[in-house]
Structure 1
Amino acid sequence: MTEPLEQPGAPRAAGPTAPQPTTAPAAHVALSRRVAVASLLGLIVLGLAWELWLAPLRPGGSWWVIKVLPLLPALPGLLKNRMYTYRWLSLLVWLYFTEAVVRATSDSGLSAVLAGLQLILCVLLFVACTLHIRLRLRDAKATAAGTTP
């Protein structure tokens, strides 16, 4: 039997050597994204709980709870995997890191413990964001060069 002839202008089937586009992120990129989202959520929840219930400056809550507001716009950006969000969040987190260091060294009791937890979450968020940026850029360069990451 003979194979049918190709019609001119008909699309060709991709052979086994044709590169297939991949849309799923590599496992290490996905892991850094999950760690960034989890630590951001942790910072938001910790900030709310700390200033409203756990160790407020005044009974009934503190106006310092508004410190959580700058973190809220970052959540949709991380969930949509926007590179720009990872970049500015890796800079913003240093404000929360500074607050955590000051409160961990100046406060006592539960407030110092919560500041230590905030410190850990800040470091986790920064490392996850910077790692995510580096890994995505490295994978993009490897894809552009035609190699697999």
Structure 2
Amino acid sequence: MKTLNAYRIMLASYLAVLLVLLYGTLSNAPAGSEGTANYAVGVLWWLIKVLPFLLFIPGLIKRSHKAAAWLSYMSILSFAVLVGLGSFTAASLCIVLFLSSMLYTRWAKADAAAVNQTAANTHQ
């Protein structure tokens, strides 16, 4: 149960980081810029910002504890960058993402080891 809760919190904070970065990108348009072309450039800039996070989508869908471990490393790196840029909302979400992905990794590995141990005991 705690593994599932950590997975849900990890996904929620993952999506929240992406949305906060999108909001920050679109709300800080250059002065005098209007029109849909500037929003397209803003979305392109957002994609460049979040590309490292988007690489983890297949692993998160598969509930891979290895992808979650790498996501925790990426969230700590992003935390350092976001604090340097002064985006404290996104930085605090990165802390939640780090903690939840770290705990999910730990508990998912423990669950897998318990299943393997049970399977080994039944074959003896």
Q: TM-score range by the shorter chain?
A: 0.7 to 0.9
Q: 2:23 aligns with which of 22, 43, 49?
A: 49
Question: Take 2:117 and 2:58, find their aligned partners in 1: how far apart are those partners?
Answer: 31
Residue in 2 aligned with 1:13? none
Residue in 2 aligned with 1:131? 103
**TM-score of the superposed pair, with normalisation by structure 1:** 0.64
Q: Could you tell me which amino acid in structure 2 is paired with residue 34 of structure 1?
A: R
**Residue by residue, what CA displacement relative to the aligned partner does 1:99-139 show, whole Å, maximum 9, x if unpaired?**
221122xxxxxxxxxx1111111011111111011111222
Structure (1 or 2) with the greater helix fraction: 2
**Residue by residue, what CA displacement relative to the aligned partner does 1:16-60 show, whole Å, maximum 9, x if unpaired?**
xxxxxxxxxxx111111111111111111111111122x34x244
Question: Take 1:50 and 1:80, find their aligned partners in 2: how far apart are those partners?
Answer: 30
Residue in 2 aligned with 1:120? 92
Higher relative contact order (CA 8 A, sep 6+): 2
Alignment of 1:69 with 2:51, yes or no, is yes
User: SS where residue 132 of structure 1 aligns?
Assistant: helix
Residue in 2 aligned with 1:19? none
Checking the alignment, whether the CA contact within 8 Å between 2:82 and 2:88 is kept in structure 1 is yes
Question: Take 2:81 and 2:61, find their aligned partners in 1: how far apart are those partners?
Answer: 26
Taking the TM superposition and a 5 Å limit, the aligned residue runs for 1:16-95 are 27-53=1-27, 55-56=28-29, 58-59=30-31, 60=33, 62=42, 64-65=45-46, 66-95=48-77
Q: 1:141 aligns with which of 113, 119, 122?
A: 113
**Rg comparison, structure with higher value:** 1
Checking the alignment, whether the CA contact within 8 Å between 1:40 and 1:75 is kept in structure 2 is no
Using the aligned pairs only, state the percent identity.
30
Checking the alignment, whether the CA contact within 8 Å between 1:39 and 1:122 is kept in structure 2 is yes
Q: Could you tell me which amino acid in structure 2 is paired with residue 42 of structure 1?
A: A
Question: Take 1:77 and 1:100, find their aligned partners in 2: how far apart are those partners?
Answer: 24
Q: CA RMSD in A?
A: 2.1
